[in-house]
Amino acid sequence: MIIRISRDAGESYADYNVQVSEEMTVLDALFHIQENIDESLAFRYSCRGAVCGSCAIMVNGMPLLACKTPVARIEELNNVYEVFLPRKGEVPKDGMLLEPIPKLPVMKDLVVDWEPFFDLFGKLELKLRGAGNPPEKEYLIAKEKVRELEKYTNCISCALCWSACPVVGDLKDYPGPAALAKLYRFYLDPREPDALNRLAIANQEFGWWACDFYTNCKKVCPKKVPPNIAIGKARSQLKNMEDNQ
């Protein structure tokens, strides 16, 4: 199979001929190229198990995790995947085109600079603040609440939703689906001292209200996190509060 890879932020492409096997993932193919054909190829990974989010790339225009995507499934995915992003390169015949995820600066080949993505996390203070002194034993949270929280705590910050969201990049300061889903997660958390303040932080034109519900975020998320649902619920809650004032 010909694997075409973006070099120099899409200014040039390199083609590699790789003998692919049934069980090989896209990340395995990248290792094969780096170890056997071109050691200068740069890509990012850490866990190799769909946990760290760092191997997010574009495969034929589909935003995917390289470590979770079997090469043998690409053709099938081409027919069923729901969100294709604009590509700079051409997909080789019977091959595969790999490009860095968009909307983040390219450092080298498939490696992007995540700073703009994580900067917005900092602005929204996405960490548990905790109320007063911690209890002597563990905090107990009702099972239903844990299940609700888990929908959002499953996020691995891979930025695939950020790449696929048409509002990101169009609207300056829009935190994007992942950051808003995380913010909502802290609103839900019973350990938070002032949950409503969490909603208020993004109660802006460029916050909760900027989403146009394309729902690309939910479609591309490898962890089935539904940022669109979080945003919709946050808006309803804010609207109810406004109506009852």
Site residues, ligand SF4 (CB under 6 A): 53, 155-161, 177-178, 181, 220-221, 223, 225, 227
Cβ(82)–Cβ(219) below 8 Å: yes
Does the footprint of ligand FES cover residue 96 (CB under 6 A)?
no
> DSSP assignment of 176-234, as one string?
-HHHHHHHHHHHH-TT-S-HHHHHHHT-STTTGGG-----HHHHH-TT---HHHHHHHH
Supply 211's token pair. 């989403």
- Within 8 A by CB and 6+ apart from 47, the residues are 54, 67
Cβ(211)–Cβ(151) below 8 Å: no
Taking the least distance from each CB to ligand FES, the nearer of 47 and 131 is 47
Taking the least distance from each CB to ligand SF4, the nearer of 102 and 177 is 177
Taking the least distance from each CB to ligand FES, the nearer of 28 and 189 is 28
Taking the least distance from each CB to ligand FES, the nearer of 52 and 195 is 52
> DSSP assignment of 13-60, as one string?
EEEEE----TT-BHHHHHHHHHHHT-TT-----SSSSSSS-TTEEEET
Supply 94's token pair. 């019977």
Candidates 41-49, 82-90, 139-147, 184-192; binding stretch for ligand FES (CB under 6 A):
41-49
Site string for ligand FES, 60-79 (x = CB under 6 A): -----x-x------------
Question: Of ligand SF4, ligand FES, none, which one does residue 41 interact with (CB within 5 to 8 Å by kind)?
Answer: none
Question: Of ligand SF4, ligand FES, none, which one does residue 225 interact with (CB within 5 to 8 Å by kind)?
Answer: ligand SF4
Give the binding-site size for ligand FES (rule: CB under 6 A): 12
Taking the least distance from each CB to ligand FES, the nearer of 51 and 229 is 51
Phi, psi of 227 (to 5 degrees): -60, -35
Contact residues for ligand FES, defined by CB under 6 A: 45-48, 50-55, 65, 67
